[in-house]
Amino acid sequence: MEKIIDTLKEFGLTEYEAKIYVTLLSNQLSNGNTIAKLSGVPAPKVYGVLQKMNEKGLVFTVSGGNNGKQVRYSPLPYKELLKTKKETFMDHLEFLDDTLSEVSSNSDVDWSELFVIEGYSPSIEVVQTAVAECESELIISCWKREFDELKELLLKTHHRGVKIVTLIFDDNESDVPWVNFTHSKEGVALDRHKGEFSIVVDNKKAILLQSLDRSPHSVVSSHPVMVSTTRNYIRHDIYVNRIIHDFGRTITEYYGRNLEGLIDDF
């Protein structure tokens, strides 16, 4: 009963109104004295509350007995009450949806999410959620450790029609049905990617994970600059590694076996 009273109060009834309404549902056509006794509302307050409830359409007066002078009260049927409250709620909801949308569109601030996830497992969970919610495109550069954790989910995502491009630093994963590249195994170049994981989702969100054991964490952002920079970073890394793969002998002759003539510049 207490929960019913509290819920009716959430719908806009006062505590006394809620108590009287529930009392009348189970004791139809009661007079003021009876309502006071059964509801727990103080007798001096009952008639004033009943008058306000009558004005709101929550109760109705019925005359009878003592030559029609005795006034009794009947509640608005509960289904009618719920219907009215539902319609009012929906009207308010539609009003707020329209007006708050307009207010939001007038904002001068171009808001975008940017936050840090501490820990390796929570970071992987954020990545998994982003992959599962992806609608059109994923581009990823990662180590085999993270790739193996995501592989089954990536396969399901690929079968949903999502375009996937991957670059794996330390393994040649050739049995995947999407476009995949392998990073050059030259020591210095590969070492610079240590602990690194990058993903861009639908060209709308970027997640950068640093999985070093001392402080694993990830940064998540939907800011256009962050997204485009990360996407270009992965793409350019793919471009360079394709060139090294296709013209390896010429490149190593010019820059050295470990590309030191290129990498050691900065």
DSSP state of 235: H
Q: Was domain 114-263 assigned CATH 1.10.220.70?
A: no
pLDDT at res. 125: 94
Estimate the crossing angle of helix 224-246 against helix 248-255, to 10 degrees.
100
pLDDT at res. 115: 87
pLDDT at res. 188: 63
Q: Tell me the pLDDT of the chain (266 aa) as tens digits.
A: 889 999 999 888 999 999 999 999 999 889 999 999 999 999 999 999 999 999 999 999 887 655 556 789 999 999 999 998 899 889 999 998 888 877 766 655 455 678 899 999 999 999 999 999 999 999 999 999 999 999 999 999 999 999 999 999 987 766 899 999 988 876 666 778 889 999 999 999 999 999 887 889 999 999 999 999 999 999 999 999 899 889 988 988 888 887 778 777 77
End-to-end CA distance of the chain: 74
Q: Write out the two tokens for 191.
A: 């070492």
Cα separation of 260 and 264, whole Å?
5
pTM of the model: 0.58
pLDDT at res. 114: 84
Q: Where are the domains of the chain?
A: 2-83, 114-263
Please report the DSSP string for 74-107 in residue order: EEPPHHHHHHHHHHHHHHHHHHHHHHHHHHHHT-
Helix ranges (DSSP H) in the chain: 2-10, 15-26, 32-39, 43-56, 78-105, 120-133, 144-159, 187-191, 224-246, 248-255, 260-263
Is-contact 163 178, C-beta < 8 A? yes
What CATH number has the domain spanning 2-83? 1.10.10.10
pLDDT at res. 23: 93
